[in-house]
């Protein structure tokens, strides 16, 4: 095996090796992106759950934020699918391409070597018998030389195509990666701009009014009024009139028990998370 | 325990529960972001490793891309640290805040209940003995009523502060989250724009020239020239003069062996990745 043959084979092996590694790491990158989306989905659900228990302005602000954040996760899902289709899959299919190219090169290299051998043999024959076998050797040498040149040019072409295609593919794969990522980051900026407004417009004073009125139901207020009416010197009570109407939330004991159970589950989750952390 | 007391306690428990869950999920989101950064770091290293084996234009383009992509990972690291400091830690410390608030509320609620009991007891006493103990009961009732009103107002204030602070904190935590994420996405767009240029300017024709000249070393060329000079009819060989000068890369057998070993390791990695995938 001459230097050239070795060099071509090494070039193909190198591409095989690095495209394989790139494929694996890009796939891992995509998987981690999908896991990030999973956690973001959990966040969306938890924000909805928390918002449902809150006063109107906070409830609306958080719900709207969760709507936007959920939309962003749809874009992240699209990012994941596009990266798989346009980056991971093309790198994966390169394994097959490289194998075919390698067979192609092997055949051409074999022919080239066979012809080079034939050519040098003819040269030797001609030098040993310069007189009587001159005519035959001359035309044989000429044909062998032409064959060797043709096969060499064919090999050059095969290698050229391989190299050219490889660079084109690398360019296309990385361009796709960048485009897909940019699309996602652009959408993220757009969505977070809207989401910021949702959080910014939450009005703590509006919510405080509602919370107060839910805490001080009419029966409590009227009981105080009776005391005040019965006592001879009316108390100077101000600022509580706004608490007079209210909503009484019914809290059953079963619900309280349920919450305690959930707290225990949370602690278990915590342990699991810690365990996962330690595995790293 | 009256409805109001129960309601206040439920509000505090609700915050404790949901802030705890939000804290956990945000922490998981941050961890997944950190893992995504880990994979991106691996990608940076592999791109550098592959670039080192390639022809000049591809080498430079990939190296510059890896430089930019590596910079983005520094921003991702900053994102991770900021999210921990401005989102996860504040939510975590809310556990302590809620406990203190709960003690605060408990004390005020206890006083309120005691005073309400005292007030209704005095009312009953006055109704049972409308004549002889009238004067004493009247002033007692008045003082008890004032105490109850004062404590009620104090409770209102405590609850108000808790609610107000909670909404302010939620707003601040979510605003920080959005700002940190936007900062990262903005940087990502900026960096990918530069990175796109790095990939776009890779010139496959330049690289092809270099690759060809490295493949066809002078000794091969001169051997063909000898054949051509010896044969009577010179071959019409064109387009190969540019292959005449070249770099001969020395490939030792030990290096080839090393690559085979690495291939085996890759396969093992593949199995590990598959195993991780199945664990999910």
Residue B83 scores a pLDDT above 80? yes
Q: Sort out which chain A residues have CB atoms less than 8 A from B224's CB and list them.
A: 148-149, 152
Of A204-218, B60-74, B165-179, B266-280, the poorest mean pLDDT is in B266-280
The single residue listed with the structure tokens 């093992």 is B268
Q: Residue B197 to residues A176, B68, B266: CA-CA distances in angstroms?
A: 13, 11, 31
Exposed, middle or buried by CB within 10 Å (0-12, 13-18, 19+), for A173? buried
Percent of chain B residues topping a pLDDT of 90: 42
Whole-angstrom distance, CA of residue B26 vs CA of residue B9: 26
B134, B199, B210, B265: best to mutate for the A interface, most A CBs within 10 A: B199
What's the token pair of residue B3?
């409805």
Q: Sort out which chain A residues have CB atoms less than 8 A from B202's CB and list them.
A: 167, 170-171
pLDDT at B74 (0 to 100)? 98
pLDDT at A147 (0 to 100)? 80
Q: What count of other Cβ atoms lies within 10 Å of the Cβ of residue B127?
A: 10
A140 Cα to chain B: minimum distance (Å): 10
Percent of chain B residues topping a pLDDT of 70: 72
DSSP B135-203: HHHHHHHHHHHHHHHHHHHHHHHHHHHHHHHHHHHHHHHHHHHHHHHHHHHHHHHHHHHHHHHHHHT--
Angle between helices A134-200 and B134-200 (to 10 degrees): 160
Contact A276, B279 (CB under 8 A): no
User: Of the candidates B8, B189, B220, which has its C-beta nearest A4's C-beta?
Assistant: B220
pLDDT at B133 (0 to 100)? 58
User: Of the candidates A170, A175, A273, which has its C-beta nearest B58's C-beta?
Assistant: A170
Contact A91, A98 (CB under 8 A): no
Q: Sort out which chain A residues have CB atoms less than 8 A from B24's CB and list them.
A: 266, 269-270, 273
DSSP B16-35: HHHHHHHHHHHHHHHHHHHH
Contact A237, A228 (CB under 8 A): yes
Q: Sort out which chain B residues have CB atoms less than 8 A from A269's CB and list them.
A: 24
pLDDT in tens, B208-266: 888 888 876 555 555 555 555 555 443 333 333 333 333 223 333 333 334 334 333 33
pLDDT at A121 (0 to 100)? 78
Cβ–Cβ gap B227/A200 under 8 Å:
no
Does ipTM surpass 0.90 in this model?
Answer: no
Residue B121 scores a pLDDT above 70? yes
Per-residue pLDDT of chain A (280 residues; tens, 9 = 90+): 567 778 888 888 899 999 999 999 999 999 999 999 999 999 999 999 999 999 999 999 999 999 999 999 999 999 999 999 999 999 999 878 888 878 877 787 788 777 878 778 777 777 776 665 555 556 777 777 788 788 778 878 888 888 898 999 999 999 999 999 999 999 999 999 999 999 999 998 999 888 888 876 555 555 555 555 554 443 333 333 333 333 223 333 333 334 334 333 333 333 444 444 444 4
Cβ–Cβ gap A25/B8 under 8 Å:
no
A1, A2, A4: best to mutate for the B interface, most B CBs within 10 A: A4
Cβ–Cβ gap A18/B62 under 8 Å:
no
Of A180-184, A219-223, B140-144, B179-183, the poorest mean pLDDT is in A219-223
Q: Is the dihedral of CA B80, B83, B89, B95 positive or negative?
A: negative
pLDDT at B137 (0 to 100)? 59
What's the token pair of residue B107?
């004390």
User: Of the candidates A22, A29, A204, which has its C-beta nearest B164's C-beta?
Assistant: A204
Whole-angstrom distance, CA of residue B216 vs CA of residue B246: 6
Per-chain mean pLDDT for chain B: 78
CA angle B258, B261, B266 (to 5 degrees): 125
pLDDT at B1 (0 to 100)? 52
Whole-angstrom distance, CA of residue A112 vs CA of residue A109: 5
Reference B141, options A217, A226, A244; nearest CA is A226
Q: Sort out which chain A residues have CB atoms less than 8 A from B194's CB and list them.
A: none
pLDDT at B222 (0 to 100)? 54
Which residues, including other chains, have CB under 8 Å from residue A42's CB and lie 6 or more apart? B25, B28
B167 Cα to chain A: minimum distance (Å): 6
pLDDT at A260 (0 to 100)? 37
Cβ–Cβ gap B243/A179 under 8 Å:
no
Q: Sort out which chain B residues have CB atoms less than 8 A from A7's CB and list them.
A: 214-215, 248-249, 251
Residue B55's pLDDT band (cuts 50, 70, 90): very high
Across the range B13-40, mean pLDDT stands at 96
Instruction: Compare all CA atoms of chain A with the CA of B264 and give the residue at the minimum distance.
Output: A17
């Amino acid at each position: 095996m001459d230097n050239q043959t070795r060099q071509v084979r090494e070039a193909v092996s190198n591409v095989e090796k690095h495209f394989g590694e790139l494929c694996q790491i890009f796939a891992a990158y995509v998987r981690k992106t999908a896991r990030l989306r999973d956690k973001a989905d959990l966040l969306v659900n938890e924000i909805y759950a928390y918002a449902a228990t809150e006063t109107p302005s906070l409830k609306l602000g958080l719900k709207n934020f969760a709507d936007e954040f959920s939309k962003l996760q749809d874009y992240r899902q699209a990012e994941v699918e596009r990266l798989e289709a346009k980056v991971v899959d093309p790198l994966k299919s390169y394994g097959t391409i490289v194998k075919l190219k390698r067979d192609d090169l092997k055949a051409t290299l074999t022919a080239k070597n066979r012809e080079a051998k034939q050519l040098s043999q003819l040269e030797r024959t001609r030098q040993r018998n310069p007189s009587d076998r001159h005519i035959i050797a001359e035309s044989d040498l000429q044909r062998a030389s032409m064959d060797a040149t043709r096969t060499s040019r064919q090999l050059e072409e095969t290698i050229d195509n391989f190299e050219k295609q490889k660079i084109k593919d690398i360019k296309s794969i990385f361009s796709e990666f960048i485009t897909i990522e940019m699309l996602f980051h652009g959408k993220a900026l757009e969505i977070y701009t809207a989401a910021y407004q949702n959080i910014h417009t939450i009005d703590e004073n509006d919510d405080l009014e509602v919370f107060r009125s839910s805490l001080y139901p009419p029966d409590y207020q009227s009981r105080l009024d009776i005391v005040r009416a019965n006592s001879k010197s009316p108390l100077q009570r101000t600022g509580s009139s706004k608490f007079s109407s209210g909503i009484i939330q019914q809290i059953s004991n079963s619900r309280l028990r349920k919450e305690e159970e959930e707290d225990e589950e949370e602690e278990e989750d915590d342990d699991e998370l810690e365990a996962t952390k330690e595995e790293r």
